[in-house]
């Protein structure tokens, strides 16, 4: 269990999101009476939403993430004006007792679902939990297959070095692209210096890339209609050569 918590810390240190995404989701949710964040992790997006005075529920399948987020909530200098509900559950099959005006899935969380059935199940669960007139918004990266084909899967790239009071952490990443299965698996290596001791830890985040046309098809199957498609958090429209994809949807009511 201790190792599990430490991996959560490493994840929290490494994955900082995309520039502008927190402010974007604050704007998306600003007028919503209820918000559900899927894959909320340690609260990088959720905590600013809670501080904004929104009624927020966070869902993550990783108990260590939820435990860390709960601790961060308790450490906040000013408590949110609405209680924050945290749920350990699977974004593919969650069953909550309420609906939400906004459901969000930030920072490539959707690509952690590794086949069409899982993605479709997630989208159907989202549809089930959307309030009438509500929106589901998510963002993912766009793969350049020619660029990925040039990557050496055995080469570790130095991402950054973090300097703390008692330790220094070097962070490295390598990626492996499997075109036939649309997999882009990212591995992270941490070289941790504490005094004269040096140790290394690694973990992998398996991901499966989906194109916009694939996403649109699965959304439609789940009863969700695309209402907006953008390449950045400033509202510029998505194009074929865009590197990022932000999708707004709503439920199709029959």
What CATH number does domain 2-142+210-251 carry, 1.10.3720.10, 3.30.70.20, 3.40.50.10540, 3.40.50.150? 3.40.50.150
Residues 6+ apart with CB under 8 A from 170: 158, 161, 190, 191, 192, 193
- Residues 27-57 pLDDT 10s: 999 999 999 999 999 999 999 999 999 999 9
Q: pLDDT grade, residue 156 (50/70/90)? A: very high
Domain ranges of the chain: 2-142+210-251, 145-205
Q: Which two tokens stand for residue 62?
A: 């990783």
Question: What pLDDT shows up at residue 1?
Answer: 30
Question: What pLDDT shows up at residue 182?
Answer: 96
Q: pLDDT grade, residue 217 (50/70/90)? A: very high
User: For 188, what's the count of Cα atoms within 13 Å in the CB-facing half-sphere?
Assistant: 20
**69 sits in which H/E element:** helix 63-75
- Residues 11-34 pLDDT 10s: 998 888 999 999 999 999 999 999
- Residues 88-141 pLDDT 10s: 999 999 999 999 999 999 999 999 999 999 999 999 999 999 999 999 999 999
């Amino acid at each position: 269990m201790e190792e599990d918590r430490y991996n959560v810390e490493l994840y929290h240190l490494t994955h900082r999101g995309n520039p502008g995404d927190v402010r974007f989701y604050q704007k998306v949710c600003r007028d919503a009476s209820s918000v559900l964040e899927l894959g909320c992790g340690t609260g990088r997006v959720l905590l600013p939403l809670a501080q904004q005075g929104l009624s927020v529920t966070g869902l993550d399948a990783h108990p260590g993430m939820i435990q860390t987020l709960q601790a961060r909530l308790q450490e906040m200098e000013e408590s949110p004006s609405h209680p924050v509900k945290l749920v350990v559950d699977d974004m593919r099959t969650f069953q909550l007792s309420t609906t939400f005006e906004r459901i969000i899935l930030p920072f490539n969380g959707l690509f952690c679902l590794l086949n069409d059935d899982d993605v479709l199940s997630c989208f159907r669960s989202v549809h089930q939990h959307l309030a009438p007139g509500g929106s589901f918004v998510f963002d993912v990266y766009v793969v350049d297959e020619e660029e990925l084909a040039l990557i050496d899967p055995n080469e570790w790239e130095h991402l950054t070095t973090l300097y703390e009071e008692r330790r220094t952490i070097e962070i490295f990443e390598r990626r492996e692209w499997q075109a036939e299965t649309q997999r882009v698996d990212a591995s992270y290596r941490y070289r941790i210096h504490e005094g004269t001791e040096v140790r290394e830890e690694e973990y992998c985040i398996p991901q499966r890339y989906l194109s916009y046309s694939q996403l649109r098809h699965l959304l439609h199957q789940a009863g969700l209609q695309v209402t907006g498609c953008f390449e950045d958090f400033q509202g510029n429209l998505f194009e074929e050569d865009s590197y990022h994809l932000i999708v707004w949807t709503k439920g199709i009511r029959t």
